[in-house]
Amino acid sequence: MLYHAMIINTVHKVRSVSTQYLAMLALMIVFPTAQAAEMEDTITVSSTAFEHHGTVPLAYSAYGDNTVPSITWSDLPEGTQQLALVMDDPIAPTPQPFVHWVAYNIPADAEGLPEGLTREAEVNVDGLEGMINGVNGLRQTGYFGPRPPKDGKLHAYHFRIYALDSELDLPAGLNKAELLEAIDGHVLGTGMLMGHYEEK
């Protein structure tokens, strides 16, 4: 009887460990960017087009000229080798959040992105050699400015910078999910600029 009880107890322990392992594995698959999500923002991100928590001017929206705003950053973590950027709207009804811009392979010594930057996949600008514009929520390449429904709701646009510990040399054509999966485990720090836009 004692031997039988020991076997049953062992089986329960193995099942418990297996269940915990599978749960952890599921979390890793569903939330591949947990590393970045748990970080406190330490990078300062700003723009000459609007202030943090300010209003994004019409010219930078898809209702206007759809001009890429300037984005600058400072206070990068020590050891930063490359940067990536994601702009999205967490208030968009579907899909949520709606991805407006994905950019990566940004050189670590770059201090920002200039206003009017190309929306082509390959960025051939001095100081930004190798940078790639990825795929946005419209399955188009490059920046797509704010264009919320004309429902009077105030939308927030997050411009998030990721400092990476390696030059990953990622291929063209990545969307947000693919980029975040690729940089998971390489994020040294993050920072965010937020702008608002409302179409009445």
pTM given for the model:
0.81
Report the topology of domain 33-197: Phosphatidylethanolamine-binding Protein (3.90.280)
Q: For the segment 92-104, what is each residue's pLDDT rounded down to a tens digit?
A: 877 679 999 999 9
Answer yes or no: are the C-beta atoms of 58 and 64 closer than 8 Å. yes
Token couple for 149: 């429904």
What number of other Cβ atoms are within 10 A of residue 62's Cβ? 16
Q: For the segment 129-169, what is each residue's pLDDT rounded down to a tens digit?
A: 999 999 999 999 999 999 998 888 899 999 999 999 999 99
